[in-house]
Amino acid sequence: MAGLSAVVITLNEEANIEACLRPLLEVAREVLVIDSHSSDRTRQIASELGARVIETDWKGYAQTKNFGNQQAHNDWILSIDADERLSPDLVQSLKQFKGAEKTVYELDRFTNYCGTWIKHSGWYPDWKVRIFDRRAVRWQGDYVHETLAIPPDFHRMKVSGKLLHYSYQNDADHWERMERYARLSAQEMFDKGKQITFIRPWTSGLARFFRTYLLKSGWRDGRQGWKISIRNAWLAHRKYSLLRALNRKTSV
């Protein structure tokens, strides 16, 4: 076993949690589930599988993940989302894991969108730092966005094998999550005092479509690439439209 603590944050992940945890139990000395008061069977399933479950209030992505890392018994953290799975090849690689000083480890995330593996559209390649020493690396960010604060002298190593990401199960799931993300993003920008012109939602939407469909070769993903490009554009337009609405409300 590698000297890893796998940390997963959850909220109503009953449909995903078993498939997420089973490969983690093969490679980590400890699997820790940080649950923000799920109303489904997430905690029960995780406990029955052998994970250690801690229930806590939602603190935003960065702070909830940091809280989970602090509860771990090992310093080396494997940070995984509930809709992600370790592929068999990645499981084999992680069984041999030995952490080196001043090094973080990137996993090759491959996204499945409504049943189709996406190879372009800005979604692949998509290397993500997911293994790190919590004594030197921690999550930072606001309520919505989170990134890892990695010391500049640290090395990045790639781990062989895919991290399989099952992002959206269907169109309704995608629209619901985009709306939630747009509202959280708008509120976050509003809280920072961000002001924009009336044209910003339109220019941002068009720019996002151009970037996804043309610059990131979304057209090569066929119909799904078109859908991703259109919805990325809608999301950019939506969050700035909501920000404009918040700003107008306070100026009245």
For the whole prediction, is pTM greater than 0.75?
A: yes
Protein fold of 2-168: Spore Coat Polysaccharide Biosynthesis Protein SpsA; Chain A (3.90.550)
User: How would DSSP label each residue in the chain?
Assistant: -EEEEEEEEESS-TTTHHHHHHHHHHHEEEEEEEES--SSSHHHHHHHHT-EEEE-----HHHHHHHHHHH-SSSEEEE--TTEEE-HHHHHHHHT----TTEEEEEEEEEEETTEE--STT-SS-EEEEEEETTT-EEEE-SS-EEEE--TT-EEEEEEEEEEEEEESSHHHHHHHHHHHHHHHHHHHHHTT----TTHHHHHHHHHHHIIIIIT-GGGGHHHHHHHHHHHHHHHHHHHHHHHHHHHHHH-
pLDDT in tens, the chain (252 residues): 459 999 999 999 999 999 999 999 999 999 999 999 999 999 999 999 999 999 999 998 999 999 999 999 999 999 999 999 999 999 999 999 999 999 999 999 999 999 999 999 999 999 999 999 999 999 998 777 799 999 999 999 999 999 999 988 899 999 999 999 999 999 989 999 999 999 999 999 999 999 999 999 999 999 999 999 999 999 999 999 999 999 998 876
Spans of all domains in the chain: 2-168, 171-251
